Chains A and B, each alone.
Chain A
C-alpha cells in the first residue's frame, strides 16, 4: 500500500484535506476501524466486564480479554496474564514505581538515563527521594545515544531498578535495548529493568522476550488506539510476587477474610471498572497494524525521516541543526531540529497557522535538552499517513517563516 492510500484509513483527512499532521509522537491519528470498534462497544454491548452473567456482559468481557490476548501476542509476551491495562504510559510507569516501592531501601540506587521522557524520570526520582535512595542518571553522548561505558559504571550490586527508553521521544534514536539489558544483567542479575516503549510499540517490531525486560510500558493512543488506555507488561514471575497498590472492585477474592485474599495478576492490579471501550479499540489498532505489517510501518517511517533530514539540510544548510544521530539505521520517524534565529515556539505557531502540526519546546524531556545544551527544539514525528509531499509543504512553510522572523 502507498502512503496516499494509507491516508484513506484516517477519517480526519476527509474533513481536513489540507492537514499536514507531523505530531505522531504526541498522539497518532485514529484509523476508521479503531473508531468503529469503540463505537460498536458503546452502541452494541456496553456492559461492564468480569461481573455480569448475562450474555451482553459476557460479550463485553470476551471482547476485552480478546484485546488483552492480541496485545500479548503483538509484543511477544508469554501469556495474556502479563498484560496489565492502565490509562497510559505515564500511569503504567507510576504503577511500576508504586509496585516496586517496598523493595527499595536507603542504601539502594535507581539508574535512569538523561534521554528519558519526564514520565520515566520523575516517578523514579520521587521514589528515590522518598526512600532516601540514590538517583543516578546515565549521561548521553553529543549525538544523543546512551553512554554505555558510563552506564556500566553506574550499575552496581545496590542497583534495584534500571529504567530506560526504547526510543527517545525527542531524537527518535532506537536504543539497542536487548544489548543494554544484557549489559545491566551481567553486572547485576537482580536489577529490575523497566523499558519505556511509548515511542517504540507500533513503530518498530517489539518483542519483550527478546529484550528480556521485566516491565514494559506503552500507550494506546500512540499506536493508533484510543486515548486513556495503556499497558504495563510484567514478567509473570515478577508480577506474581508483587502486592497490589490500588484496592476496590474486580481485584479481590475474599474481602471479608482477616487477611484479604486478592486475585492473581493481572486482575489484582486492575481495581475498578477499566477503560473497556479503550481496550477494545486498542485491540482493533493492533489488528490495523498487523494488516499493514510492523516491518513495513518501520521502513516507511524510517525512509521518510531520512528524506526529511536530507531535505531540511539541503534547504537550510548551516542555519539548521538537526539534533541527534545521523545513522539512518537507528532512526525512527522522529526528527528534532533548531533553526537559527527562529524560536521553536514561533516556528510551531506559524506552521500551525498553515495547518502544519509539529511539537515545540522541551517535549517533556528537560534533562535531555539540558544535556545537549538546547533551550528548546522543534519536532516532527511521522507516521504511515505522511508523505513526501507533507515534507515539501513543511520546507516551503519554514522558508516563509524564516523570512517573517
Chain B
C-alpha cells in the first residue's frame, strides 16, 4: 500500500492556494464533515457566469485542505455550469492518489462546499 501523503498533497497542505476570505463575495457557504469535525467555508465571486474569484478557509486534515486548495485553483475562470458538473473522480485526479472509502469524505468535502457555495447567493 502506498501512502496517500504524496508530494502534491503535502505541498498543497503546507502551502494552500486561495486560502482566506473574500471581501465582497457574491456567493458564500460552509459545509461540515460530521464524523471528523472538519469545516470548510468558501467565498466566491461570480461575474458573467464565470468564477472570477474563490477563496476557502476552515479546519481540516491534509486531505481535505489539499483538495480544497487544488479544487479552488482548478475552478478559477471556469463557468459555473462547468463547476457544478464536476464529479468525485475529478478530485482524485487532482490529488493524484487513491482514497479509501473512509478518507473519501475528507477528499470530497471541498467539492461539496464548492457546489453548495455556487448555489448560495449572498
Chain A residues 210-250 with CB under 8 Å of chain B are none
Chain A, Cβ-Cβ closest to B103: A349
The residues of B that contact A353 with a CB separation of less than 8 Å are 1, 3
Query: With a CB–CB cut-off of 8 A, which chain B residues contact A344?
Result: 36, 61
Q: Mark A365-384, 1 if CB is under 8 A from B, else 0.
A: 01001000001100000000
CB distance from B100 to the nearest CB of A (A): 9
* Interface mask (B1-18 → A, CB under 8 Å = 1, otherwise 0): 101110000100100000
A385 to B4, CA, bound (A): 29
Q: Is B70 positioned at the interface, with any CB of A under 8 Å from its CB?
A: no
Q: Please, what's the 1-or-0 string for B33-47, where 1 marks a CB less than 8 Å from any CB in chain A?
A: 011111100000000
Known contacts A345-B106, A375-B59; is-contact A350 B36 (Cβ 8 Å): no
Report whether B5 and A360 are in contact in the complex, using a CB–CB cutoff of 8 Å: no
Give every chain A residue within 8 A of B77 (Cβ-Cβ): none
Known A-B contacts A350-B5, A376-B36, A404-B10; A345 and B59 likewise in contact (beta carbons under 8 Å): no
- Number of B residues, CB within 8 Å of A: 20
Q: Is B63 an interface residue (CB 8 A)?
A: yes
Among B1, B34, B37, B61, which residue has its beta carbon within 8 angstroms of that of A346? B61
**CA distance in complex: A55, B38 (Å):** 56
Count of inter-chain pairs, beta carbons less than 8 A: 52
**Contacts A404-B5, A405-B62: A345 and B10 contacting too (C-beta < 8 A)?**
no
The answer, yes or no, to whether A167 is at the interface (CB within 8 Å) is no
- Asked if A343 is at the interface of the complex by the 8 Å CB criterion, the answer is yes
Tell me whether B25 is interfacial, beta carbon within 8 Å.
Answer: no
Structural contact, A346 and B35, CB atoms closer than 8 A: no
A346-B59 CB under 8 A given contacts A375-B37, A376-B37: no
Number of interface residues of A (CB under 8 A): 16
A123–B63 Cα distance when bound, in Å, is 33
The one of B3, B13, B34, B60 in contact with A350, judged by C-beta atoms closer than 8 angstroms, is: B3
A362 within 8 Å of B (CB atoms)? yes
C-alpha gap A350/B103 in the complex (Å): 12
Contact indicator B37/A361 (Cβ below 8 Å): yes
**Contacting residues, chain A, for B1 (C-beta < 8 A):** 353
Is the beta-carbon distance between A345 and B61 smaller than 8 angstroms?
yes
Q: A329-379: which have CB < 8 Å to B? A: 343-346, 349-350, 353, 360-362, 366, 369, 375-376
Q: Is A361 touching B3 in the complex (CB atoms < 8 A)?
A: no
Measured in the bound complex, the distance between the Cα atoms of B10 and A363 in whole Å is 26
Considering the complex, give the chain B residue whose CB is closest to the CB of A370. Answer: B37
Q: A343-B60, A375-B59, A404-B10 are in contact. Are A349 and B4 (CB under 8 A)?
A: yes
A-B contact pairs, 27 of them (CB 8 A): A343-B59, A343-B60, A343-B61, A345-B36, A345-B38, A345-B61, A345-B103, A345-B106, A346-B5, A346-B61, A346-B63, A349-B61, A349-B103, A350-B5, A353-B1, A353-B3, A361-B35, A361-B36, A362-B35, A375-B37, A375-B39, A376-B36, A376-B38, A404-B5, A404-B10, A405-B5, A405-B62
Closest 9 A/B residue pairs (Cβ): A345-B61, A343-B61, A361-B36, A376-B37, A346-B62, A346-B61, A362-B37, A375-B37, A375-B59
Instruction: List 15 additional A-B contacts (Cβ < 8 Å) besides A345-B60, A345-B61, A404-B10.
Output: A343-B62, A344-B36, A345-B38, A345-B62, A345-B63, A345-B64, A345-B106, A349-B4, A350-B5, A360-B36, A362-B34, A362-B35, A362-B36, A366-B37, A405-B10
